[in-house]
């Protein structure tokens, strides 16, 4: 097709197609090959990657999403609940408001860790990535460079899980069991050790960091990893929405804040 502005096939998609009596997704018949055959998260994987995960990849991928779904009464959950207080008729706005807080502070570490590891691996050949010595050097260089610039090393430390984040050990265990621990996860492990050595502060790998590394080893790019983190978080937001509808917090929180707030102009 040639568009008005001149030139070429730009209006192209390879995600899916429909005819009067069939729907296909990435070349699979939706009704017969996917519905009832693949779990939802595997179809999300298929939609993005263009191919379905193996059963091992599926297990790790699902575990990562599960690890990111729950989040308690975080700012994003509170923002969603407060949005429900004002606009209970527009559920899409409630979920959207909750996701919008998934930025650099809260969901960022998942993406940031993937980005940090990808940058540290950049330039290493496939063979180098499998060489523990090279990986060790890359970890050391990345940590030292971050510390020298006063940048935080992402994926380390957690305000509550100060000694160990229970999600981390589980993700590493699942990946190792299935032979899916790739250069990103191995590098993250080395980064944590190097960081401990360089700072004398033993910071554990947090769940967000482990999740980012695992998704990177599954072949996803950092911005897509952020997308999957948002997908996982959406599940938690629906739970908060359901709870808010039956046990509302938003209205009472507002009343309490309004009542307690000092007015600086007084």
d(CA 183, CA 30): 34
Q: Assess 76 for contact with a second copy (CB under 8 A).
A: yes
What torsion do the CA atoms of 34, 61, 221, 137 make, to the nearest 10 degrees?
-150
Cβ nearer to a second copy, comparing 116 with 228: 228
165 Rama class: left (phi>0) / alpha (psi -120 to 50) / beta: beta
d(CA 139, CA 145): 10
**Among positions 52, 95, 187, 216, the unique one binding a second copy when judged by CB under 8 A:** 95
- Residue list 5-64, contact with a second copy (CB under 8 A): 5, 9-27, 30-32, 34-36, 38-41, 43-44, 47-48, 59, 62-63
Token pair listed for 89:
């008729």
* Selected range binding a second copy among 98-106, 133-141, 144-152, 185-193, rule: CB under 8 A: 98-106
Q: Assess 247 for contact with a second copy (CB under 8 A).
A: yes
d(CA 22, CA 24): 7
**Among positions 52, 53, 57, 78, the unique one binding a second copy when judged by CB under 8 A:** 78
Cβ nearer to a second copy, comparing 92 with 200: 92
What torsion do the CA atoms of 210, 215, 219, 222 make, to the nearest 10 degrees?
-90
Residue closest to 151 by CA, chosen among 204, 100, 113: 113
Cβ nearer to a second copy, comparing 108 with 129: 108
Q: Assess 232 for contact with a second copy (CB under 8 A).
A: yes
Residues 158, 201 contacting (CB under 8 angstroms): no
* Selected range binding a second copy among 119-127, 132-140, 166-174, 180-188, rule: CB under 8 A: 166-174
- Residue list 55-74, contact with a second copy (CB under 8 A): 59, 62-63, 65-67, 69-74
Helix or strand or coil: residue 18?
strand
Cβ nearer to a second copy, comparing 84 with 187: 84
Q: Assess 91 for contact with a second copy (CB under 8 A).
A: yes
**Among positions 51, 119, 164, 199, the unique one binding a second copy when judged by CB under 8 A:** 164
In whole angstroms, how far apart are CA 121 and each of 116, 173, 249? 9, 22, 45
- Residue list 102-131, contact with a second copy (CB under 8 A): 102-107, 111
């Amino acid at each position: 097709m040639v568009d008005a502005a001149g030139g070429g096939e730009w209006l192209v998609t390879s995600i899916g197609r429909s005819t009067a009596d069939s729907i296909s997704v990435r070349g699979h018949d939706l009704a017969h090959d996917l519905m009832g055959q693949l779990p939802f998260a595997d179809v999300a994987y298929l939609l993005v990657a263009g191919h379905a995960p193996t059963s091992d990849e599926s297990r790790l991928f699902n575990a990562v999403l599960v690890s990111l779904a729950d989040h308690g009464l975080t700012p994003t959950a509170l923002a969603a609940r407060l949005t429900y207080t004002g606009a209970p008729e527009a559920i899409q706005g409630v979920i959207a408001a909750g996701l919008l807080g998934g930025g650099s502070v809260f969901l960022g570490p998942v993406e940031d860790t993937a980005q940090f590891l990808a940058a540290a691996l950049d330039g290493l050949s496939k063979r180098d990535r499998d060489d523990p010595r090279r990986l060790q050097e890359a970890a050391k260089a990345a940590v030292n460079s971050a510390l020298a610039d006063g940048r935080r090393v992402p994926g380390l430390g957690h305000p509550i899980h100060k000694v160990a984040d229970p999600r981390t050990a589980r993700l590493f265990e699942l990946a190792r069991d299935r032979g899916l621990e790739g250069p990103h996860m191995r590098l993250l492990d080395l980064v944590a050790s190097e960081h401990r050595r360089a700072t004398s502060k033993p910071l554990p790998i947090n769940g967000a960091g482990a999740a980012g590394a695992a998704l990177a080893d599954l072949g996803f790019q950092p911005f897509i990893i952020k997308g999957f983190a948002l997908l996982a978080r959406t599940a938690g937001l629906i739970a908060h929405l359901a709870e808010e509808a039956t046990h509302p917090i938003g209205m009472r929180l507002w009343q309490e804040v309004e009542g307690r707030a000092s007015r600086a102009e007084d």
